[in-house]
Structure 1
């Protein structure tokens, strides 16, 4: 999914820097707060981080404004997958609001903090934040996607399916929603639904390696290896350096009895994606069989 969906959507508008006594300086050097906003608008997170950090050290901010700047800075870190730094900024924003008596609770900030918490391993806090965001933002794709992923991590598959299904209803033309839903159905053992969802993704994006791989993998799990193999071939052609997609093709090849070719691809998949326990298990199993 495009990370552009990671919008830093605050309900309050920051009017931010107090320029009293500083009008003689140029706006380009003085108003770091606005420079940060402009950088976010341009999807330049690194520039936004630098500007917001300068904003916090140079601008005369009210507590509420300072809290908002910390959420902006957290959002910029989140966009770059710098989850620990993002979480620190979101926590600072809430701490300022609590200690300074500022009324501050925004569902988009709760969502973004929930995402950061999820990826630093704070599962309970992530669930609290994301469920709170979902109550106010039932049609927000990022909230539902991360809730779905978190529920899946917790083996709460029925809730994971409901969250991913919500994504397909919110954005039915986005293939990524259907691939996530297919994966959730697979985990729950609902093979027909998994295959149907993956087919929907392929119909939407017939040349996408990720959509093709979703259908390929669903068919493999359903032991339909001969049907899966040509789809796996297309997926690898579209994404030749993706370890998970290469692994799917290896599994299809093994399923049709072409073990020597499969073994080679399992090794390549493991080289590209060594952190997957599924890929590592298949690599070591087929390697041991050859020895």
Structure 2
């Protein structure tokens, strides 16, 4: 499909959703999906307006809360992002995605111990949630809990051997644990899978192996 065709299709979907919203202003799903596609096409203010309206119409609309939270996180408004994910958890306490998002927000704010708690809550709900294991690895690395970081990274790689990020995280965790040879093997695998390895990390590992 050409880029022009994709753009035309996207505009057609937007036009159809806008028509539905105009005719049925209380259609929560139409507003939700319109918000998502506005976000995808860079119309952020309009995306926020639609998602906020969806939540206003249905205070159980967890997906709208999650997606609106993601927009605010991208904008650097971590307070609002955190509030929306916590709101989603009030609707569904076992929503693993919200726990991961809260962990990411906490980690971004330097509240790493709390981030670990959130990632572990997510894994209690879904032990096979790759993003939780990947984020948990980086959180443990930040806390210099190297054994736990390696264990979390191995869990991620076991779940998805071809995850470039999981491989890179494992390489970093192994580096800090002092297993430089295996770190290099995983770094090279991450590169093969398309990961842009930090050249400073590659240089530091090279020096350790010299």
TM-score range, shorter chain: 0.7 to 0.9
Residue 88 (str. 1) matches residue 3 (str. 2):
no
CA contact (8 A) 1:114 1:130 kept: yes
CA contact (8 A) 1:87 1:117 kept: no
Residue 255 (str. 1) matches residue 176 (str. 2):
yes
Alignment partner, residue 154 of structure 1: 75
Deviation for aligned residue 1:240? 0.9
- Partners of 2:9 and 2:128 in 1: CA distance: 37
CA offsets 1:241-284 (integer angstroms, 9 cap, x no match) = 1122222212211221233432432343344354xxxxx252x2
Kindly report the root-mean-square deviation, in angstroms, between the aligned alpha carbons of the 2 structures: 2.6
Residue 104 (str. 1) matches residue 24 (str. 2):
yes
Deviation for aligned residue 1:134? 1.9
TM-score between the two structures when normalised by the length of structure 1: 0.61
Residue 233 (str. 1) matches residue 154 (str. 2):
yes
Alignment partner, residue 35 of structure 1: none
Look at both structures and tell me which one has the larger radius of gyration over its CA atoms: 1
The answer to which structure has the higher helix fraction is 2
Alignment partner, residue 63 of structure 1: none
SS at match of 1:173: coil
**Aligned pair partner of 1:127 in 20, 45, 48:** 48
- Partners of 2:56 and 2:49 in 1: CA distance: 11
Change (3 A) 1:229 1:130: same
Deviation for aligned residue 1:169? 2.4
- Partners of 2:7 and 2:90 in 1: CA distance: 29
Alignment partner, residue 102 of structure 2: 181
Change (3 A) 1:89 1:242: same
Counting matched residue pairs gives: 200
- Partners of 1:131 and 1:273 in 2: CA distance: 37
Residue 224 (str. 1) matches residue 136 (str. 2):
no
Change (3 A) 1:200 1:120: same
